[in-house]
């Protein structure tokens, strides 16, 4: 007998939220989603998809990083599930595309000894060649392999995707679409 699975969109943002501009603080790219207590079970997979545009400043635009966080506070100090390395922004980019896809997999449930693993990718269009740059999202920003993170599954948890610039220049980032889906 074949394994029966389903896909359920938990939240979607299809209206462009306010752009993140010149922020050196991790800032949400779309509203947090509050996952109910005990909603995670062993083997459950959540998929996050987001895309939009960015503009990078003049000769020294700096870098950007993406992070997926999960925790009870719903702020940028919640547990880091996965993150990108710092991505060098191209010089003078204007309305260039970016996208992010992440998978969060629950390995164990409970208040302690439980684990969620995050894995994914971020892609940024380059200005000069138009060739996208692909970056892995792993257990910690810039890590080379996924890592299990202890998250209490018996309490409600916020799931949020954050972006942060390395310098307070005139860089901007805007999400045009964001979805969080339950895959099984």
Instruction: Map out the domains of the chain as residue ranges.
Output: 8-182
Alpha carbons 50 and 153: distance in angstroms, whole number: 24
Average pLDDT, the chain: 83
pLDDT of residue 50: 92
The distance from CA 81 to its chain's CA centroid, rounded to whole angstroms, is 9
| DSSP annotation string for 166-182 | SS-SS-EEEEEEEEEEE
> What pLDDT is stored for residue 136 in this prediction?
75
- Say whether 164 sits in a helix, a strand or coil: strand
d(CA 15, CA 121): 23
Query: Would you call 158 helix, strand, or coil by DSSP?
Result: strand
| pLDDT at residue 33, rounded to an integer | 93
Q: Enumerate residues 6+ apart whose C-beta is below 8 A from 39.
A: 153
Q: What share of the chain is helix, strand, coil (3-state, %, to 5)?
A: 0, 50, 50
Query: What is residue 48's predicted lDDT score, i.e. its pLDDT?
Result: 93
User: What is the C-alpha separation between 35 and 81, in angstroms, rounded?
Assistant: 15
d(CA 76, CA 175): 18
What's the pLDDT score for residue 89? Answer: 84
> Quick one: which of 80, 153, 60 has its CA closest to 114?
153
Radius of gyration of the chain (CA): 17
Rounded to 5°, angle at Cα 180 from 174 and 184: 160
Tens digits of pLDDT across the chain (184 residues):
555 666 778 888 776 667 888 788 999 998 899 999 999 888 899 999 999 998 888 778 888 889 999 999 999 999 988 888 888 888 877 888 889 999 999 988 888 767 888 888 888 876 555 556 667 776 655 556 677 888 899 999 999 999 998 887 788 899 988 999 999 8
Q: pTM above 0.85?
A: yes
Report pLDDT for 5: 65
């Amino acid at each position: 007998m074949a394994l029966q699975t389903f896909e359920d969109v938990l939240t979607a943002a299809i209206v462009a939220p306010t752009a993140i501009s010149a922020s050196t603080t991790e800032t949400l790219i779309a509203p947090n989603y509050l996952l109910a207590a005990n909603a995670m079970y062993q083997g459950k997979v959540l998929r996050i998809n987001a895309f939009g545009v960015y503009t990078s400043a003049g000769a020294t635009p700096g870098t950007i990083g993406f992070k997926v966080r999960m925790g009870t506070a719903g702020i940028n100090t919640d547990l880091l599930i996965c993150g990108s390395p710092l991505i060098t922004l191209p010089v003078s980019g204007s309305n260039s595309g970016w996208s992010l896809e992440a998978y969060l997999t629950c390995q164990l449930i409970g208040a302690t000894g439980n684990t969620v693993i995050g894995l994914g990718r971020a892609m940024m269009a380059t200005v000069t060649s138009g060739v996208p740059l692909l970056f892995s999202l792993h257990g910690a920003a810039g890590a080379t392999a996924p890592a299990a993170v202890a998250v209490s599954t018996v309490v409600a948890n916020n799931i949020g995707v954050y972006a942060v610039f390395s310098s307070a220049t005139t860089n901007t980032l805007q999400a045009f679409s964001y979805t969080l889906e339950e895959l099984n």
